[in-house]
Chains A and B, each alone.
Chain A
Amino acid sequence: MNTLITVLFLIFAAIILASAIMTVTVKNIVHAALWLISSFFGVGALYLLMEAEFLGVAQVLIYVGAVSILILFAIMLTRDLEGSQNRQLTPRWWIALIVPAALFSLLIVPTVMTHAWQLPPPPPAGQPPAISGAQQIGAAFMREYLLPFEVAAILLTVAMIGAIVVAFEERERRRRVLTLAEQVRLRQRQQQRQQPAPRPEPAATAVQPSEATGSET
């Protein structure tokens, strides 16, 4: 049974890390967002493996359901057709590779591996371990964490209003292209604007019909 959990952990770890590496290296930003969803799912499965079932469900609901859809919408709204062929990494990306690699291999791994973790003693056999679940979380949110809970509610409201205010665009000011559909509509409008332009020429020739008829004959 323990080996099964170990194997499951290794599988989830491989899913999380492989998806994360694909997220940061893949060229297409839409594919990067989809790989990010896969990584979120792996993290949610890891929460379930660590018996934090409420957090696992919240991870899937909030990250997979809301944040990644938000990211995909932002990608669709800001997509430039020419930019997808350009390189996605900064010119000095190898510095950006050295810093996290050094952080991981020189700081995180030695610290984590050598530190003496004071693990609590395992519970006596036959007795289920005392693990705080969703019931305890709900009670805690209504009692000792009531003020942070309310502050989080206010934060979410402020963030929602702020996001709407920042991204809102008044209709009369709208002159930039947003989506592909709007780009097509703008091109059509420009073509309609260009089409009336040749019309004065027949009108100008109509002013001097004798010249026009003279050139024709």
Chain B
Amino acid sequence: MPSITEAVPLPWVLTLAGALFCVGLFGALSRRNTVGILLGIELMLNAVNINLVAFWRYLEPNVVAGQTFALFVITVAAAEAAVGLAMIIAIYRARQTVNADEVDSLRG
């Protein structure tokens, strides 16, 4: 029975997830557009999910908790995207910009 646990070592999958997380972190830090920041956060959440599923598959494949946790992460990510994009639309309506550098009313 061929499976990914024999074909691909676990560190490869974790390295892929780490690389995806770092790419998402770069996007969240470097973008000026707030929607671009949100895209980076979505990439980071996906990297975390890859990690969770990889640990479930390689370490505890008969325990259902790994997949359940990943599903909850997807749920929270969807809620976060909905509220975040609503906030971006509200900010755009109030200030006519989606640039994160120009929304600095709380700056000390």
Is the CB–CB distance between B64 and A136 below 8 Å?
yes
Stretch at the interface among A16-24, A189-197, A206-214: A16-24
* Interface status of B59 (Cβ within 8 A of chain A): yes
State how many angstroms separate the Cβ of B27 from the closest Cβ of chain A. Answer: 3
Q: Any chain B CB within 8 A of the CB of A83?
A: yes
B89 and A78 contact, CB distance less than 8 A: yes
Contact of A160 among B14, B82, B89, B101 (CB under 8 A): B82
Distance between Cα atoms of A62 and B4 in the complex (Å): 25
Beyond A24-B27, A71-B81, whether A39 also contacts B67 by CB under 8 A is no
Confirm or deny: B78 has a beta carbon within 8 angstroms of a beta carbon on chain A: yes
Quick check: is A101 within 8 A (CB to CB) of the other chain? yes
Q: Is the CB of B93 within 8 A of A169?
A: yes
Please state if B6 and A2 are interface contacts (CB–CB under 8 Å).
yes
Is the beta-carbon distance between A131 and B62 smaller than 8 angstroms? yes
Number of interface residues, chain B, beta carbon within 8 A: 81
Q: Whole-angstrom distance from the CB of B36 to the nearest CB of chain A?
A: 6
Is B103 interfacial (CB 8 A cutoff)?
A: no
Q: Which residues of the other chain, A, contact B88 by a CB distance below 8 angstroms? A: 74, 78
What number of A residues sit within 8 Å (CB to CB) of B?
Answer: 95
Residues of A within 8 A of B4 (CB): 5, 9, 49-51
Give Cα A113 to B10, complex, Å: 9
A3-B7, A13-B16 known; A50 and B30 CB under 8 Å? no
A180 CB-CB contact with B under 8 Å:
no
Q: Say how far A14's CB is from chain B's closest CB, in angstroms.
A: 10
- B16 to chain A: which residues have CB within 8 Å? 13, 16-17, 46
Report A153-191 residues with CB < 8 Å from chain B CB.
155-156, 158-160, 162-164, 166-167, 169, 176-178
Interface residues of A (CB under 8 A from B): 1-6, 9, 13, 16-17, 20-21, 23-24, 29, 32-33, 36, 39-40, 43, 46-47, 49-52, 54-55, 58-59, 62-63, 66-67, 70-71, 73-75, 77-78, 80, 83, 86-90, 93, 95-97, 99-101, 103-104, 108-109, 112-113, 117-120, 122-123, 128-132, 136-137, 139-141, 145, 148, 152, 155-156, 158-160, 162-164, 166-167, 169, 176-178
